Amino acid sequence: MKSKSKLFDKEQLWGYSFISPMLIGFIVISLLPIIATIVISLTNWAMLNNDVKFIGFENYMKLFNDPLFYKVAKNTFLFTLLLIPSNLVLTLGLASLLRDNFKGVGFFRTAVFTPVVTTVVVWGILWKYIFQTDNGLVNTLLSMINLQGPQWLYNANLAIPVAVFVTLVKGLGLNTVIFIGAMKDVPTMYYEASEIDGASKMRQFFSITLPSIAPSIFLVTIITMIGSLKVFAQIDTLTGGGPGTSSFVFVYYIYQQAFKYYNFGYASAISAVLFCLIVILTIIQWKLRKRWVYHEN
Amino acid sequence: MRTDSERARRAKKRKKAIHYLVCSVIAVIMLFPFYWMFTTSLKTYGNVMKFPPQWWPDPITLDNFIQLFSRHNFLRYLWNSFYIAALVSIGVVIVSSLAGYAFAKMRFKGSNVLFLIILSGMMMPIEVTIIPLFIALSDLNLANSHFGLIIQPIFGYCGAFGTFLMRQFFITVPTELIEAGKIDGASHLRIFRKIVLPLASSTIATLVIFTFLQSWNDYLMPLVLLNDSRTYTLPLGLKLFASEMGVEWNLVMAGATFSTLPMLIVFFFAQRKFMESLAMAGLKG
């Protein structure tokens, strides 16, 4: 009995030693910084401020009276609102087109997927070139049919839609492949049965495919929402937050406050708000995944 | 009857042709930006500005690429990006396969809670932890180095995701296999290295592809931390190069082509594995 408990202890020790690199690293690199972010958000810490002290929730009060913060929230909301429906419609369409194996399907899937493995900064700069007002490809093509293109990246109303478009095209391939995988898991006998009943392809898509892959659609939607909250590189390369502040998003505002103005306290308060939003969405994602997609454990 | 089947066959053929046509149009739209980037990088400045545009560069020049290496240090950026992403990938594989194995196959007090705690690292991405990390690294005189760029992903988002992914895999490894190793007197570390890890090669490949791309793409951290051009990574170097060159799009596109080509080449050689891995990571991560 005694030797058994000793063996058990040794077993436990092995377990702890296997997880310890990850656990210690996680505490130092992720957990402490998150706590620090929240603590700093309660101070007036700024690089030019010698009198750093706790100021309670003052930064948060300021935040909720800051018109630019509302603009950031609005822009992020608009970004998500434009991205998610267009993304779902296009990727479901692409997945239906590329689901079945036919000659050359590999090439078409690769073509759609290539932007996914392209560096975000390269992608952003490439599209900045294509959307240039003078000499950009889009406006050149428009002028060839005698249309004058707008100042895509320097128009306050177009900056966010253009950034959404660029993000959309980059991510299409990933969600398409996810949906192809989900569609292939739908039992073929459903389709065979409905074919006997004379259902059209359209009818099959809405009555069989869509309900069967609903879990994947919900998961992809949540993941896209989290991604929209973290958008930064596209905005920085395409518009630099501009014109003016018209394409500011969360991370861009954090970056500007923290690393251009060195207002660490205020920037941390914005980070803390962003963190809360990410936590809420991630918990929803985990709950959904547990319920629907993978029957873990 | 015969005409009926003929008609049906023809309709099927037409449908197939339309399907190919639609797919081809989509492929052209998706690939044209790359074509435009590449051909612009081979044009002279004068021809970039031409209207109507040159659809194929004439004359073809390699001057733009030469400038990347003579006046700028793109080879250095490439090396920096590569070795950082390689070290991050190795680090993530080591720490997360160890942790994932322990959570899947070893019994110890609090393992469920500890697993959830480590998993919560996925809610703490660099975007929300960068301020204290920047302050700490500056205090340690490590801000203008690659230290943070290597360490943060290993124990941040990528490591947490890796632990989850590896645990999912190790759960499927039959416990009898491990028990047999124990009876033979092998230590845990030996069983892990000799028996369990080789079984996980496909999952490890998935994790490496995901992690390498994350590190390779990283832009926020280099932007905040690095201020010496010798330490720049490709995304940061390219962004600053593009700001400097302004409308000399022939040069900017040469930089963009150079920055994305290595990854595209690797991708074209392992398309299936890339798509599979990133789709899996996309659903889980």
Whether B285 sits inside 8 A of A98 (CB atoms) is: no
Cβ <8 Å between B124 and A115: no
Chain B residues with CB-CB distance to A18 below 8 A: 98-99, 101-102, 106, 188, 192
- What was the pLDDT predicted at A293? 53
Q: Under 8 Å CB-to-CB from A114, ≥6 apart: which residues? A: A173, B30, B31, B34, B264, B267
- Whether residues A85 and A177 share a domain: the answer is yes
A111-163: per-residue pLDDT in tens? 999 999 999 999 999 999 999 988 899 999 999 898 888 999 999 999 999 99
Domain region containing A177: 57-293
Give the C-alpha distances (Å, rounded to integers) separating B195 from B84, B176, B181, B182, B189. 29, 12, 8, 11, 10
Same-domain pairing of B189 and B83: yes
- Same domain flag for A129 and A102: yes
Mean pLDDT for the stretch of residues A255-260: 96
Percentage of the residues of chain A whose pLDDT score is greater than 70: 95
Establish, for the pair of chains A and B, how many residue pairs have beta carbons separated by less than 8 Å: 276
Which residues 261-280 of B are in CB contact (within 8 Å) with A? 263-264, 267-268, 271-272, 274-276, 278-279
Contacts with B92 from chain A: Cβ below 8 Å = none
Res A66: pLDDT: 96
* Per-residue pLDDT tens digits for B232-265: 999 999 999 999 998 899 999 999 999 999 999 9
Nearest CB neighbour to A23, from listed B22, B49, B114: B114
Cβ atoms B274, A109 nearer than 8 A = no
Identify from A16, A38, A45, A125 which residue to disrupt to test chain B contact, counting B C-beta atoms within 10 A and taking the largest count: A125
List, for residues B130-174, the tens digit of each pLDDT value: 999 999 999 999 999 999 999 999 999 999 999 999 999 999 999
Distance CA A229, CA A274 (A): 7
Cβ contact A251–B168 (<8 Å): no
Do B124 and A94 count as a contact with CB atoms less than 8 A apart? Answer: no
Q: Once rounded to an integer, what is the mean pLDDT over residues A233-243? A: 93
Is there a single domain that holds both residue A167 and residue A287?
yes
Sign of the torsion angle spanned by Cα atoms B3, B4, B10, B13: negative
Same domain? B21 vs B71: no
Same domain, B106 and B186: yes
Mean pLDDT for the stretch of residues B205-211: 96
Last residue of a domain, one of B44, B64, B84: B64
B234–A137 CB contact, under 8 Å: no
User: Which residues in chain A are contacts of B101 at CB distance < 8 A?
Assistant: 18
- Give the residue from B26, B44, B64 where a domain finishes: B64
Contacts of B234 in chain A (CB under 8 A): 119, 121
In one-letter notation, the amino acid at residue A89 is V
Would the pLDDT of B267 be above 80? yes
CATH number at residue B150: 1.10.3720.10
The answer to whether residues B238 and B219 belong to one domain is yes
Same-domain pairing of A127 and A82 = yes
Q: What confidence tier does B283 reach under pLDDT thresholds 50, 70, 90?
A: confident
| C-alpha–C-alpha distance, residues A216 and B131, integer Å | 34
Q: B108 lies in which domain range?
A: 67-284
Tell if the CB–CB gap between B52 and A144 is shorter than 8 Å: yes
Interchain pair B168, A296: CB under 8 A: yes
- Do A294 and A60 touch, CB atoms closer than 8 A? no
- A220 and A173 fall within a common domain: yes
CB contact under 8 A, B131 and A104: no
Helix (H, G, I), strand (E, B) or coil at A43: strand
> Nearest residue on chain A to B278, judged by CA atoms?
A174
Residues from chain B contacting residue A267 (CB–CB below 8 Å): 131
Q: CA-nearest residue of chain A to B15?
A: A97
Q: Which residue of B has its CA nearest to A118?
A: B260
B46 to chain A: closest CA residue:
A135
Residues B53 and B71 in one domain: no
A49 belongs to a structural domain: no
CA–CA dist B251, B245 (Å, integer): 7
Q: Using a CB-CB distance cutoff of 8 angstroms, which residues of chain B are in contact with residue A293?
A: 283
Q: Do B141 and B107 contact (CB within 8 A), yes or no?
A: no
> Residue A2 domain-assigned?
yes
* A121 occurs within a structural domain: yes
pLDDT at position A7: 60
* Verdict on whether the full-model pTM lies above 0.90: yes
Task: Please judge whether A22 and B99 are an interchain contact, meaning their C-beta atoms are less than 8 angstroms apart.
Answer: yes
Name the residue facing B128 among A18, A278, A289 (closest C-beta). Answer: A278
Chain B neighbors of A259, CB-CB under 8 A? 134, 224
Q: Give the distance from residue A207's alpha carbon to the nearest chain B alpha carbon, in angstroms.
A: 22
* pLDDT(A6) > 70: no
Cβ-Cβ contacts under 8 Å, A264 against chain B:
131, 135
Domains contained in chain B, number: 2
Question: How far apart, in whole angstroms, are the C-alpha atoms of residue B97 and residue B196?
Answer: 10
Does the structure show a pLDDT above 80 at B284?
no
Comparing CA positions, the residue from A75, A35, A38, A74 lying closest to residue A59 is A38
Residue A238 shares a structural domain with residue A151:
yes
B171 C-beta neighbours (distance < 10 Å), count: 14
- The mean pLDDT value for A80-88 works out to 96
CA distance B208 to B190: 23
Question: For residues A85 and B239, what is the distance between their CA atoms, to the nearest angstrom?
Answer: 30
d(CA B79, CA B100): 31
